[in-house]
Copies of this chain bind each other. A is one copy, B any other.
């Protein structure tokens, strides 16, 4: 029963994928809009296939039973799963393993959408597919094994007594932060768009071409995140299906506060609230909620969202001004910064029932050492996953050029890569924002 409810919740996750696709397309240029959407469709397809081929084999699944089995005895660490490829020998008619496979497939696809935001307007379609194959076939499953598949991060609790081990309810680390640091790698490898920075290094504003798509994407993503967070809670945190209610309330409150915080900060600093930063705030609030949504009270979700909104707004500026990273979709800030804050918030706010150690009920200040497990997870994302994903993408970009030719960027990716624009009947500005 519980698993059937979880199954239905997973079926809502594509709303998050479609939402992020719209946000990425809307925050890019009109002359790359068809390319952004086609890339999204291809990335979803490649992610599903790569995860099917080898991703789940390396991720694996540690249900309550197997986790309990691993608890006893010596300190063994699990670094990678070694299931059969092609989802063979997996009963696909509803047991939790099969749900973890479906959830992971969509999680990998969602993570792979995130770099499309930071690589917008200059990342070749074929290169998106190559990078997605790496992410969904290797990097994502590896970290997912550690966090969700009974790997060493999850074992921190049993082996070292750090709370219940690394907790990542809906993928704040596994989906959002892994996708977000990949987005950062892609933005570094590609470099800034032509004209984004003036000769003296000042960033120019290049507004997204369609805010309606962006904010509609935010609204749609909410439903997908409800699916992510509640299905993850049931699959990986022994939540009862009815706890999807608290997850849903915490998710929407976190997103709401984060969006309002971003709107308020931009209003105070620039005189007017900024639509795209408000949207980034909303998505960042969703990403942050994926950490602790099962284990906090609604009032704490509001605090988590407020901090997320502030962090993201400043992170967008920091990446653009200080680090000279050109991230058209704000993907790095919303997903990596928002996600990592969500991971940390588990250590700060979560009250996790210590079911494994037999202690019933809730602990007031969270499981002891939980914050340390979360910090280890964050350090792993920044210290290991980021170099790994950067390195693999850098290698791939040596073999298969990631960035479109300058002529293609000027012309727009639609014409250059697809041979036709997204809006062939509409008249758009010839004026380059970048040449002002």
The CA of A46 and the CA of B261, in the complex, are separated in Å by 11
A33 and B211: CB pair below 8 A?
yes
Known: A212-B213, A272-B418, A425-B428. A249 touches B92 (CB 8 A): yes
Interface residues of A in 200-224 (CB under 8 A from B): 207-216, 218-220, 222-223
A278 and B38: CB pair below 8 A?
yes
Q: Check: A5 CB closer than 8 A to any chain B CB.
A: yes
Among A95, A227, A297, the one with the most B-chain Cβ atoms within 10 Å of its Cβ is A297
Among A11, A33, A209, the one with the most B-chain Cβ atoms within 10 Å of its Cβ is A11
Q: Check: A15 CB closer than 8 A to any chain B CB.
A: yes
Mask: chain A, 247-276; 1 = CB below 8 Å from B; 0 = not = 011001101110110010000001111110
A222 and B260: CB pair below 8 A?
no
Q: Check: A348 CB closer than 8 A to any chain B CB.
A: no
Q: Which residues of B contact A417 (CB under 8 A)?
A: 272-273
Q: Check: A72 CB closer than 8 A to any chain B CB.
A: no
Q: Which residues of B contact A94 (CB under 8 A)?
A: 240-245
B426 and A48: CB pair below 8 A?
no
Q: Check: A279 CB closer than 8 A to any chain B CB.
A: yes
Mask: chain A, 422-435; 1 = CB below 8 Å from B; 0 = not = 11111111000100
Mask: chain A, 170-191; 1 = CB below 8 Å from B; 0 = not = 0000000000000000000000
Count of identical protomers in the assembly: 3
Identify A275's interface contact among B34, B248, B302, CB under 8 A: B34
Mask: chain A, 72-94; 1 = CB below 8 Å from B; 0 = not = 00000000000000111000111
A257 and B49: CB pair below 8 A?
yes
B11 and A223: CB pair below 8 A?
yes
Known: A213-B212, A275-B38. A49 touches B219 (CB 8 A): no
- Pick from A22-30, A316-324, A396-404 the stretch touching chain B: A22-30
Least Cβ distance of A62 to chain B in Å?
18
A38 and B273: CB pair below 8 A?
yes
B273 and A98: CB pair below 8 A?
no
Interface residues of A in 36-82 (CB under 8 A from B): 37-38, 40-42, 44-46, 48-49, 52
The CA of A242 and the CA of B414, in the complex, are separated in Å by 42
Mask: chain A, 1-34; 1 = CB below 8 Å from B; 0 = not = 1011101111110110110011001000110011
Q: Check: A161 CB closer than 8 A to any chain B CB.
A: no
Q: Check: A368 CB closer than 8 A to any chain B CB.
A: no
A419 and B249: CB pair below 8 A?
no
B424 and A427: CB pair below 8 A?
no
The CA of A259 and the CA of B425, in the complex, are separated in Å by 25
A242 and B7: CB pair below 8 A?
yes
Interface residues of A in 91-122 (CB under 8 A from B): 92-95, 98-99, 101-102, 105
Q: Check: A152 CB closer than 8 A to any chain B CB.
A: no
Least Cβ distance of A18 to chain B in Å?
4
Least Cβ distance of A429 to chain B in Å?
5
Q: Check: A226 CB closer than 8 A to any chain B CB.
A: yes
Can you identify 19 A-B contacts, CB atoms within 8 angstroms? A5-B8, A7-B245, A10-B248, A15-B223, A34-B211, A38-B263, A38-B278, A41-B218, A45-B259, A45-B282, A48-B256, A88-B299, A92-B246, A92-B298, A125-B273, A209-B423, A212-B213, A212-B423, A426-B426
Q: A7-B241, A48-B253, A98-B242 are in contact. List 11 more A-B contacts (CB 8 A).
A: A18-B220, A22-B212, A37-B216, A38-B263, A41-B282, A44-B219, A45-B259, A49-B253, A52-B302, A210-B212, A424-B429
